[in-house]
Amino acid sequence: MKSNFYTRKLAENKAILAPMAGYTDAPFRKLCREFGSNWAVTEMVSAKGLVQGDLRGIEIGEPYESEPDVVIQVFGGEPEIVAQGGNILYNQYKPDALDLNMGCPVKKITGKSCGSKLMQDPERAAEIVRQLVGAVSVPVSAKMRLGYDRVNVLEVALALQEAGVCALAIHGRTAEQKYTGEAKWEAIKEVAEHLTVPVIGSGDVTTKAQFDRYRSWGLGVMIARGAMGRPWIFGELQGEAKPSEKEITEIAYRHAELHCEWYKTDNANSELYAMRSLRSQLVHYFSFLPGTRSELTQLSSLQELRRFIKKYLDTDMNELASEVSGNLVSA
């Protein structure tokens, strides 16, 4: 197969940060890259929103300054619209690759015949890929599931390969399952054996033993929920030790600083809005402090986070003199 972004990067024995709506924004991608993720995919961007001039889509796909290996995920259900939206993202940011969302199981997305709903219509999915590939000058991949309400991933994967995708990421559940049961990696492996494009598996990977096993099958490995409040998982999968509680606290606080910096505006409430969107991650970070979820989900500022840390860990974050390595400004 001709060398491209995906074939080159997958030669590196590293896990990849999966796209997650509400989570894989610039601050979190930066942290995961620092801990060793191979690349980090953005949150999904609405192609229709881009075409209609909604600037939020441009903001969601925005790389941070000097972000390496930029992969932006786009979603949509109409071939022409997805192609136009992809072209807008390509011209705006010159990413290294674009990814088509065919895995989101949320009704808000599937109800518009987007996301995992495309698994029910291989021909339309293939046409979307075909037109997107023709609209940009970078490799195109797709992230999908085993199926929507039945397993038909091989049929869809072959259609997308024929349409021109350069890589496929497969979550080992159907959309109907959402996140219940166990991800079926053997099914992903079977699909890969019938394709010539690289295949990346996703679902339930939390240990180095799992990572090594799936890599030995020739699969790429993508981490989603396992990285929430745990960006150091990418180092752990390379054999690095888990951070101490003190180190986790410092990582969490740095994430909060990066988050507030990225979302800072002239609005006096911008820090409040930023902290609200980070609360679920903070719950994961401080899972070693049982009974604190309620407090964490009420935090509204960096000052309140510092007070929380002082209260439970007797650590003064002011004395640690936060060191945000590198500016997190837009490219």
pLDDT digits (tens, 9 = 90+) for 22-68: 999 999 999 999 999 999 999 999 999 999 998 778 888 999 999 99
pLDDT at 80: 98
pLDDT at 142: 98
Mean pLDDT of 223-236: 97
Mean pLDDT of 291-316: 94
Separation between Cα atoms, residue 66 and residue 327, nearest integer Å: 9
User: pLDDT tens, 233-288?
Assistant: 999 999 999 999 999 999 999 999 999 999 998 887 899 999 999 999 999 999 99
Arithmetic mean of pLDDT over the chain: 94
Binning the chain into helix, strand and coil, the percentages to the nearest 5 are 45, 15, 40
Separation between Cα atoms, residue 237 and residue 202, nearest integer Å: 14
What is 91-124 written as a DSSP string?
Answer: HHH--SEEEEEE----HHHHTTT-GGGGGG-HHH
pLDDT at 14: 98
Is there a catalytic annotation at residue 166? no
Query: Which SS3 state, helix, strand or coil, does residue 60 take?
Result: helix
Whole-angstrom CA distances from 145 to 158, 168, 201, 242 are: 14, 10, 10, 30
Separation between Cα atoms, residue 287 and residue 23, nearest integer Å: 18
Would strands 16-17 and 97-102 be described as parallel, antiparallel, or unpaired? unpaired
Predicted confidence (pLDDT) at residue 228 exceeds the cutoff of 50: yes
pTM: 0.94
pLDDT at 222: 98
Predicted confidence (pLDDT) at residue 330 exceeds the cutoff of 80: no
Catalytic residue among 104, 114, 166, 260: 104
Structural domain spans, the chain: 5-236, 245-313
> What percent of the chain lies above the pLDDT cut of 90?
89
Under CATH, which number does the domain 5-236 receive? 3.20.20.70
Predicted confidence (pLDDT) at residue 324 exceeds the cutoff of 50: no
* Cβ-contact 26, 40 below 8 angstroms: no
pLDDT at 320: 57
pLDDT at 186: 98
218: pLDDT confidence band, cut at 50, 70 and 90?
very high
pLDDT at 266: 83
